[in-house]
Structures are given as structure tokens and as C-alpha cells.
Amino acid sequence: MNSIQLLQKQGASVWLDFISRDLISSGELKQFIDQGVTGVTSNPSIFQKAMCEPSAYDEPIARTRKTFPDLNVEGLYEKMAIHTIQAAADDLLPVYRSSAGTDGFVSLEVSPRLSASTVQTVEEARKLWKAVGKPNLMIKVPATPEGIPAVETLTAEGINVNVTLIFSLPQYNAVAQAYIRGLAKNPQPAKVASVASYFVSRIDTAIDKLLEKTGNPDALALRGKTAVACCKMIYRSFNEIFYGEAFAAQLQRGARVQKLVWGSTGTKNPRYSDVLYVEEIIGKNTINTIPLPTLKAFLDHGKVRPSVTENVAGAEIILADLKKFDINLDSVTDQLLTEGVVAFVQAYDQLIESLKARCATK
């Protein structure tokens, strides 16, 4: 039994934080599924890397341009992304069916350019949901102030949502409540699924820099601990919300809990374990979206234990200690949300420019 399968015994899942046409056509995705991977996520940065490879997507781009000669570059990207997502969804459909619709999802993100508009986000999500046409699709919506109301609307309409770019506990709580409000308006709540994606490693990257600026040995001792501590707080809130009174009525209607996704779990600091953000946040109803290098490392030497519920009191102390060094966690997470949206917009714009250049030379 490999480490992914051992993790599944703890009630957790592994999703691959990468997608490409070659990954699917080569059969590599199916191999990962055989090893225990149960989902796939995508975002503008992932598609930017995948589609901008020199030979990647040449054939489908040429075919699509021939079939739709008046299609603009944004439309071309959308068709390429939809085709890739559909193929991944097909590979994952047996997982979706065997889990009774609780796993086996592939995610496609709305355009990051729409993150400041609730109305446009909802419209784009509806369009993508219809275009992909797969029951195991999740539409990714950023947890911006404008995105969170969209989550409620889409959930009410029966559209599966992966709420992304969550960096703080207040942000997470708002997302969970939006999902619950949406379920309350949905006549068939048992048919909709949602996950809330909390971004992990970026927390430590930002906080560690502030700790290092102090030069204080006690501050330096906190490096690499904030992100896991935050995850423990998020997980505690998840259990309080979805196994408390707030969700009881929806459970009786057959609704599913909104599972927690740990995103951005590749270790950025080489001084830390390459599987730090997998091993230390394992718990029931969690999903770890793992980039390829981290997934291979975890398969090679990952250890499994129910870690996310360990020493929660200690996690509270770590977060409280940040204040001793004038580090405002809320300010940091607000900035990370802003930077996350900007990074996705930049990746999307780079992708579009790359496709424009490719089309101009063929």
C-alpha cells in the first residue's frame, strides 16, 4: 500500500495540481489515478505553463483554428482548456461514480479578469459549466469579496464550485457560510458538491520574511510554522461549522460537507521537508492538491498520520506569538489575496499573448 492509499485511510484525498494535454494522452494521469490520485486542479498559471510549451497543443490549436476561423485568441484558449478538462473528467469519472459523487473532480477556473465582478463571475461559471458538460467538473471561483456571493448563487443553481485563493480564517468562514446559504436555496442539495481551497505555502513564505527581518532568535524559531498552524485553525472551524448546528438542517436534506482543500502545498523553502505541507495537515474530509514534484516525493518517502488535529493549542500559541513581533497576520493574508489575483491575471495575460504569437507564426 503506497502513501497515497494510506492517506485515504485517514479520510483524505490527493488531487494533482497540474494538468496538460500530454499528461492525459500519454496515460500518465491514469497511472496516477491507479496509484490513488482522485482529482485534478487547474488555474491560469498551470494552463500558461502547459500551453506555452513549444510543441504542446500545436495540433488541436491548428484544428480548432481551421474549424472556427473567426475565433479570437481568448476563445481559442477557452476551447483548448475545455477540451483538456473534459478529457481529464472522463479519466476521473470512475472515481466520481465509485465515490457516489464525493470525489473524482477536475477544476476549471473562471477568468481571473472577472474577480471583481459577481455578475460576470456567475455568468462565466454558468457558461463553462454548460460547455464542459461533465458531472465531475468544479468551477473555480476566487474568494474575493465579489466572488463569495457568486459561490452562493452557483451552489443554489446546482453548479459544483471550488472556492480558491483562501488565505485567512475569516475568509474561509465567509466561504463556508456562502455555501450553506446556497444549499438552503437549492431544491436538490445532495446533487451539488463544493470544496474550499486554502493556500498554504505562501503563508510561510510571507511570514518567514517578516520574522527574519526582526533578527530575534525567538522570532526565527517560528519560521516554517505559521502555515500549518493556520491550517489547524481552519480545520477546527470546518468541523465546528459542518458538524454543528449551522449545517445540521442541510445534512438532513442530504447535503455534502464542503471539503477542505490544501492548495499551494509545494515546499518553497529548501530548508524545509519537501513533503512538509502534505504530512503535517492530514485529516478527514481534506484534499491535498499536490504539484508533480511533491507528489513524487510523497510517494517516495511520505509518512501518514492524522496530523491536522495534533496540538491545536500549540498552533494557537504560534499564531499569538506573531503579535509579539508586530506581525499582523490579517494584513499579510489580505495582501496575499491581492497578490494571488494579480498573479493569476498576469499568467492569463501571458498565456493569451503567447497564443497570439503562436497563431501569428502559423
Pair 146, 117: CB distance under 8 Å: yes
Pair 163, 151: CB distance under 8 Å: yes
Nearest Cα to 210, choosing from 332, 99, 297?
A: 332
Tally of CA atoms within 13 A in the half-sphere of 97 that contains its CB: 7
**Dist CA 167 CA 151 (whole Å):** 17
**Annotated catalytic residue within 140, 225, 232, 259:** 140
Catalytic site includes residue 284: no
* Residue 44 neighbours by CB under 8 Å, 6+ apart: 109, 112, 344, 345, 347, 348, 351
N-to-C CA span, the chain: 48
The angle formed by the CA atoms of residues 44, 48 and 53, to the nearest 5 degrees, is 160
C-alpha cell belonging to residue 284:
478527514
Q: How far is CA 286 from CA 22, 189, 258, 275, 307, in A?
A: 28, 20, 10, 16, 12
Give catalytic residue positions. 140
